[in-house]
Chains A and B, each alone.
Chain A
Amino acid sequence: MSYPQFTDDFKQDKKLLFRTKLWVTIIHLVFVSVLILMGCAKKKEKIIVWSSMRPVERAVLDSLLKEFSTSYPQFEFSQLFYAPEEARTNFIISALAGKGPALIHGASDNIGPFVELGVIRPMEDLFSKNYLNTFIEKPIPAKTYFRGHLYQIADRVGNHLCLVYNKKLVPTPPKTMSELIEMGKKLTVDENGDGKPDRYAIAWNYTEPFFFIPFITGYGGWIFDKNYHPTLNTEATRKAAQLIYDLVNKYKIMPKECDYEIANALFKDGLTAMIINGPWSWGTYLKNKIPIGIARIPKIDETGLWPAPLVSPMGYSMNVNLRGKKLEITKELLKFLTSKQAVLRYTRVSGTIPSVKAAFKDSLVQNNPLIKASLDQVMVGRPMPVVTEMRWIFDAMRPAYQGIFTGQVTPEQAVKQMQKLAEKLIKENRE
């Protein structure tokens, strides 16, 4: 290879380099101006709703938004989906930076952190008393207040755990724990005789505090007192932990290592007769053609109490950054999305329990067996606490509670540890 003869190396280099850079800069400028122009082309203001709803429900939200948008042609309405954790984190980041969606739809336990971080606005003075009275107060209030202000208006009430049973394997669900254990012994079979059960009576995400709390209430206990100080170190908690432990190790009707996905997989494959799970999961069981029935989580024999799962209203909160016309329209949108007709549409497609008093009396709610059973469970449920402490309590419970199943601690030691850690976390996070 031979090279052309250059007279002055450096000048030539510089020219070539300069020319290359010039072209690169020109291309970049063109690119940027195109993008800016594209940005300018969007004249309409956007009103966005974030939700964590399932696909069928999102379709309903889409059509509701479309219906609403006909009244306000100068605005663009759309919805965006995020999984609950992402929705929470992204909303906080966006709102803190002055942006974010107009409305966010989610469970009520987000309210505590949202309010403390100052990313949602109080709503009680935006709506008339008449409107606010259309919502249910019992069994669970649809309007969520925190520190004296209204922060969320729900379009459904739910998110509660129920006993879900496979009708083919369990014709009638057990009503008490002792019935469950009796049935369980018959349902846990070892078909191929290798010493390990091939089918279990029941399986669920029992190592997760959310799935454990109902049993604490079944023994008459609760996670904190009225000042939100944790009350985990109690007989009730200990007994509840002992019960779950016994189901796995004494009565052997549950698998040893069982998380959410395992339990789901077993139930879908017909390898467990029952599962404890919430309304978000029923759709996928139906999709897998499992003939499911819903019932209350079985009563605790000793106390005669029904375990109370945590029930959460799911609804809309408003972004603190809303102003002027946008605020006005968002207000109207919220009213529209929580009207009787809107709320019942969700009930029709995915069996959610409506938040509006008038809708409650509708035949849709009264006649559908799954919804009826779901409502039955809600009747003995407890509202999910909205305070931020809730999250810390879950996190404080988890390590010690899981330690019971790995054999590291006894239930008695575990509840002591839970209490200690809960107090520590609350102190650390509040100082």
Chain B
Amino acid sequence: MSGYFFSRKNRLVYLYVMPAMLVMALIVLWPFVYNVVISFSDMNLTHFKNWKIIGLRNYVAVLSDTNFWYFFFKTILWTVLNLIFHVGIGVMLALIINEDIKAKSFFRTLLILPWAVPQYITALTWRGMFNSEYGAVNLLLDHLFGLQVPWLSTEWGAFTACLITNIWLGFPFMMIIALGGLQSIPKSLYEAAEIDGASRWQQFKDITVPLLKPVMVPAITLGVIWTFNNFNVVWLVSNGGEPSDKTHILVSWVYKAGFTYFRMGYAAAFSMIIFAILLVFGWRFIKHTKATENVYS
């Protein structure tokens, strides 16, 4: 059955795929190579135009900085927590909306708004809402539970504030993907399972999850990568790493080195290390979920 398509003229296939790959190569390859070269150099403020190769010194500097490992840990925590909530909330909402709900359109539209409104201002609005004296979050908490949390002036409070903001920004996307994915699942499968007497949970486990997988996996994979590298939210909500430069993930730290200090060699090496980390993750994740395979094969 499958051999029919697999043995066909390959040239046609390449025609389909070529344009996309060419564009990517152009835009991404040269800057990448540039960064690889720079990462072995001493390019910084003092030698910007007259840089020279100095070998692995930058890499050593990055890896021997305790800050690197600490922020690495924080970045992993950041990524994992974000994705859990993004996917969890997104899929849950998608499942609910997909049921026989009235005013579907209304809810759908409201729930997509966090994605639609420009991030710059919503992130700053959240920052304002987390102010311990005047922010809406504490006012609400005080009203309901008599609590007042010092969000932005403590290290983990600030981290949580960034997390909540990013969850707010990210769940609509996963919800849309899940909604789309749910459309591809034939109703007949559910009907058959119903006849067989399967419970709702069993139907979810055996029908919904496997057939939703091929659609969610690309989103999750890329979601992990994007969240890992999400510089904007952390920077804006914590006002550039406050308090005391503790609220950072790896990419915001790189930004500081590169654009505030112009330590380009160091920043390039740093970026290469981030890249390597994600590469290893991507490779293993894709192999594990067999994302390149077809679900019916």
Question: A residues engaging B (CB < 8 A)?
Answer: 10, 13-14, 17, 21, 89, 113, 116-118, 196, 207, 255-257, 259, 261-262, 265, 388, 391-392, 395, 398-400, 402-403, 405-406, 408, 425, 428-431
Within 8 Å by CB of A406, from B48, B133, B244, lies B244
Chain B window 176-188, contacts with chain A (Cβ cutoff 8 Å), 1 for yes, 0 for no: 0000000000000
Instruction: Kindly specify which of B191-199, B221-229, B256-264 makes contact with the partner chain.
Output: B256-264
Question: Which of chain A's residues have a CB closer than 8 A to the CB of B262?
Answer: 113, 117, 429
- Asked if B128 and A402 make an inter-chain contact with CB atoms under 8 angstroms apart, the answer reads no
Q: State the majority secondary structure of interface residues on B.
A: loop
Give, as a whole number of angstroms, the nearest-CB distance from A91 to chain B. 13
Asked if A116 and B45 sit within 8 Å, CB to CB, the answer is: yes
> Which 3 pairs from chain A and chain B are nearest by CB?
A399-B244, A399-B245, A402-B244
Interface 9-mer from B31-39, B147-155, B274-282: B147-155
A118-B134 contact, Cβ under 8 Å, with A256-B153, A261-B128, A402-B244:
no
Taking a contact as CB atoms closer than 8 A, the residue among A14, A89, A262, A406 that contacts B243 in the complex is A406
CB distance from A151 to the nearest CB of B (A): 16
Task: List B residues 150-175 near A (Cβ within 8 Å).
Answer: 150, 152-154
Chain A residue nearest to B54 in the complex (CB): A431
Contacts of A261 in B (CB 8 A): 124, 128
Question: Can you name 27 A-B pairs with beta carbons within 8 Å?
Answer: A13-B12, A21-B15, A89-B259, A113-B262, A116-B46, A116-B48, A117-B262, A196-B133, A207-B242, A255-B133, A256-B132, A256-B153, A257-B131, A257-B132, A257-B150, A262-B131, A262-B133, A395-B260, A399-B244, A400-B244, A402-B244, A406-B154, A406-B244, A408-B244, A428-B266, A429-B263, A431-B44
Chain B residues with CB below 8 A from A431, complex form: 42, 44, 46
Measured between beta carbons, the chain A residues less than 8 angstroms from B49 are: 117-118
Q: Is B239 an interface residue (CB 8 A)?
A: yes
Indicate if the CB atoms of B242 and A402 lie closer than 8 Å.
Answer: yes
By a CB distance below 8 angstroms, the chain A residues around B102 are none
- A256 CA to B138 CA in the complex, in Å? 14
A14 and B131 form a contact (CB under 8 A): no
**Chain B window 39-80, contacts with chain A (Cβ cutoff 8 Å), 1 for yes, 0 for no:** 000101110110000000000000000000000000000000
Residues of B within 8 A of A (CB): 9, 12, 15, 42, 44-46, 48-49, 124, 128, 131-134, 150, 152-154, 239, 242-246, 256, 259-263, 266
Q: Are B46 and A402 in contact (CB under 8 A)?
A: no
**A118:B133 contact, CB within 8 angstroms:** no
Residues of A within 8 A of B266 (CB): 428
Find the A residue at minimum CB distance from B124: A261
- Alpha-carbon distance between A408 and B12 when the two chains are bound, in angstroms: 65
Smallest CB gap from A196: residue in B: B133
Q: For the complex, what is the distance from the CA of A391 to the CA of B266, rounded to whole Å?
A: 18
Would A392 and B261 be within 8 Å (CB), given that A255-B133, A406-B154 are in contact?
A: yes
Tell whether, in the assembled complex, residue B48 and residue A117 are in contact, meaning their CB atoms are under 8 Å apart: yes
**Cα-based distance from A116 to B243 in the complex (angstroms):** 30
Q: Which residues of A contact B150 (CB under 8 A)?
A: 257
Residues B133 and A398 in contact, CB atoms below 8 Å apart: no
Q: In whole angstroms, how far apart are the Cα atoms of A113 and B44 in the complex?
A: 11
User: In the bound complex, do residue A388 and residue B45 qualify as a contact, i.e. CB atoms below 8 Å apart?
Assistant: yes
Residues of A within 8 A of B259 (CB): 89
Q: Which residues of B contact A428 (CB under 8 A)?
A: 263, 266
Which of chain A's residues have a CB closer than 8 A to the CB of B46?
116, 429-431
Cα–Cα distance between A17 and B124 once the two chains are bound (Å): 49
Known pairs A113-B45, A428-B266; list 6 more (Cβ under 8 Å): A21-B15, A116-B45, A257-B150, A257-B152, A408-B244, A429-B261
Q: How far is the CB of A189 from chain B (nearest CB, A)?
A: 15
Across-interface contacts of A402 in B (CB, < 8 A): 242-244
In the bound complex, what is the Cα–Cα distance between A288 and B269 (angstroms)? Answer: 48
> Are B260 and A257 in contact, with the CB atoms below 8 A?
no
A283 to B45 alpha-carbon distance, docked (Å): 36
Per the bound structure, the CA–CA distance linking A281 and B266 in Å amounts to 37
Contact A403–B244 (Cβ < 8 Å): yes
**Max chain A CB contacts within 10 Å: which of B48, B152, B266?**
B48
- Whether B153 contacts A406 by the Cβ 8 Å rule is yes
CA distance A13 to B9 in the complex (A): 11
Q: How far is the CA of A129 from the CA of B263 in the complex (A)?
A: 38
Least CB separation from B240: chain A residue: A398
Q: Is the CB of B245 within 8 A of A398?
A: yes
The residue in chain B whose Cβ has the minimal distance to the Cβ of A261 is B128
| Given known A-B contacts A117-B48, A406-B154, A256 and B244 have beta carbons under 8 A apart | no
How far apart sit A257 and B131, CA to CA, in the bound complex (Å)? 7
Residues in A neighbouring B263, C-beta threshold 8 A = 428-429
Q: How far, in angstroms, from A259 to B132 measured CA to CA in the complex?
A: 12
A114–B245 CA distance with the chains assembled, in angstroms: 26
The reply to whether B44 and A429 form a contact with Cβ atoms under 8 Å apart is yes
Cα A17 to Cα B14 with chains together (Å): 13
- CB nearest neighbor in A for B48: A117
Contact A17–B134 (Cβ < 8 Å): no
